[in-house]
Amino acid sequence: MPVKLTAPQATSLLPVKGVQLGFAEAFVKKPNRKDVLVMTLAEGSRVAGVFTKNRFCAAPVILCKDFLAQSHDNQHRGIRALLVNTGCANAGTGEDGLHRAQQSCEALANLLNLQANQVLPFSTGVILEPLPVDKVIAGLPAAIANLKEDNWLNAAEAIMTTDIVAKGTSRKIQLSGKTVTITGMSKGSGMIHPNMATMLAYVATDAAVSQAALTSIIQYAVNKSFNCITVDGDTSTNDSLILVATNLAGNAEVTENSADFITLRDALTDVAIELAQAIVRDGEGATKFMTVTVEGGKNEEECRKVAYAIAHSPLIKTAFFASDPNLGRILAAIGYAGIDDLDVNTLQLYLGDVLVAEKGGRAASYLEEQGAAIMKESDILVRVVLNRGAENITIWTCDFSYDYVKINADYRS
């Protein structure tokens, strides 16, 4: 069960002017479920994207990058639609996969009177299987028929794979005296690791934002959010985060130099963090949500190494599942994280606000009951203070349960 995470109410996901969403049940893999999503964007919308660094990136990711690059040319008429399917990742599919992704874009473009390169495609699901593109295309008329702005919850449901709950959130902020809406949704719960997590996420705002500001914001936001989560250390072939600004809120255009820039950046980052954390809270088999903070490193890189050594350790994750304060496993992970000149005698390990270890061993003040009490909670902070410098990092992960094995041993069947 997801850790302190429930699906949003339909009414709590606010429409964003200029973004319409429509879904279909196209039987891509399973019957009777929403599995195709179409999003249309008003003319003049600006779009930025960040994608997986996996070398086996999926065919739709290759097309997305290409079309986004083209969209910065004057010749291009702008990105006007997104097409998402679940049930098949269209990854590890070679030339044929590219062809099928292109076909799906062409089909939607024809129906919407667009060019194919104005449609960004996204797929998630099983790798190494051909995309049933005919089924996707057959679903498009139904999806177009129910396009509307107030349809984010249905959309969030349509992009789920092994997710248990739909993930979405909204904010309203003021920019130059105008009310601006931000709504985002995400999916993903396995094959989750930074660069990026296995996930799709879409965040839209009606704010007017320059392309440069939008690109700057997406990089900032992804590094504070989706690049700080891990479920199982597996970086997916399909990860994509898309940020859309429809330019319909009437605010003065936000540029990197305008006073509103930080306000908008932080609000979008806040949405990205909430969506990223929701993926971890809905991590496959998760029963605990773990925040891992590493402080006092010489640089961010070494903080990251320690944080991920802890977050990826199956021994630590199973101990958290068991609510067992077997905290020596955390020391072991700190020790093998790869900081060659780490002095284990000068660092501190805290669980919540309880000092567990210092001077190379268990803190004199530490009582097993304290650790046991904290381990029973569902949100747990692991804090390592390296005392070597001024850099900090925080990442989020979940525990490792029987159900993780069950879900991943059963996923294809």
Question: Where on the chain is the footprint of its own copies (CB under 8 A)?
Answer: 53-57, 89, 91-97, 126-130, 190-191, 193, 195, 232-237, 312-315, 318-319, 321-322, 324, 326-329, 331-336, 339-340, 342, 344-345, 357, 359-362, 400-402, 404-406, 408-413
Q: Which two tokens stand for residue 400?
A: 């490792």
d(CA 330, CA 315): 9
Largest Cα–Cα distance of the chain, in whole Å?
71
Name the residue nearer to its own copies (CB basis): 55 or 353: 55
Q: What are phi and psi of 391, to 5 degrees?
A: -90, 145
* In the complex, minimum distance from the CB of residue 400 to its own copies, in angstroms, rounded to a whole number: 6
* Alpha helices (H) along 128-204: 133-145, 152-158
* In the complex, minimum distance from the CB of residue 101 to its own copies, in angstroms, rounded to a whole number: 13
The owner of tokens 């700190």 is 334
| 198 in catalytic set | yes
Name the residue nearer to its own copies (CB basis): 73 or 341: 341
Name the residue nearer to its own copies (CB basis): 132 or 168: 132
Residues ≥6 apart with Cβ < 8 Å to 403: 284, 285
Which entry of 198, 205, 246, 269 is annotated as an active-site residue? 198
* In the complex, minimum distance from the CB of residue 245 to its own copies, in angstroms, rounded to a whole number: 30
Long-range contacts of residues 93-96, Cβ cutoff 8 Å, at least 24 apart: 93/58, 93/59, 93/128, 93/129, 93/130, 93/131, 96/130
Name the residue nearer to its own copies (CB basis): 207 or 319: 319
Name the residue nearer to its own copies (CB basis): 195 or 255: 195
Partnered with residue 395 across adjacent β-strands are: 292
Tell me which residue of 47, 53, 49, 54 sits closest to 81, measured CA to CA: 47
d(CA 272, CA 269): 5
Q: Which two tokens stand for residue 231?
A: 């479920």
Work out the angle at residue 128's Cα, subtended by the Cα atoms of residues 123 and 130, and round it to the nearest 5 degrees: 65
* In the complex, minimum distance from the CB of residue 64 to its own copies, in angstroms, rounded to a whole number: 16
Helix axes 94-112, 59-70, angle to 10 degrees: 50
* Alpha helices (H) along 13-86: 59-70
Q: How far is CA 275 from CA 7, 280, 337, 373, 395, in A?
A: 12, 9, 28, 29, 14
Q: Which two tokens stand for residue 321?
A: 């599942």
d(CA 136, CA 159): 13
* In the complex, minimum distance from the CB of residue 223 to its own copies, in angstroms, rounded to a whole number: 18
Name the residue nearer to its own copies (CB basis): 22 or 60: 60
* In the complex, minimum distance from the CB of residue 389 to its own copies, in angstroms, rounded to a whole number: 16
Name the residue nearer to its own copies (CB basis): 69 or 405: 405
Tell me which residue of 172, 292, 187, 276 sits closest to 224, measured CA to CA: 276
d(CA 260, CA 300): 28
* In the complex, minimum distance from the CB of residue 125 to its own copies, in angstroms, rounded to a whole number: 10
* In the complex, minimum distance from the CB of residue 74 to its own copies, in angstroms, rounded to a whole number: 32
Residues ≥6 apart with Cβ < 8 Å to 40: 19, 20, 80, 81, 112, 147
* CB neighbour class for 348 (10 Å; exposed up to 12, middle 13-18, buried from 19): middle
Name the residue nearer to its own copies (CB basis): 115 or 326: 326
Catalytic residue positions, numbered: 198
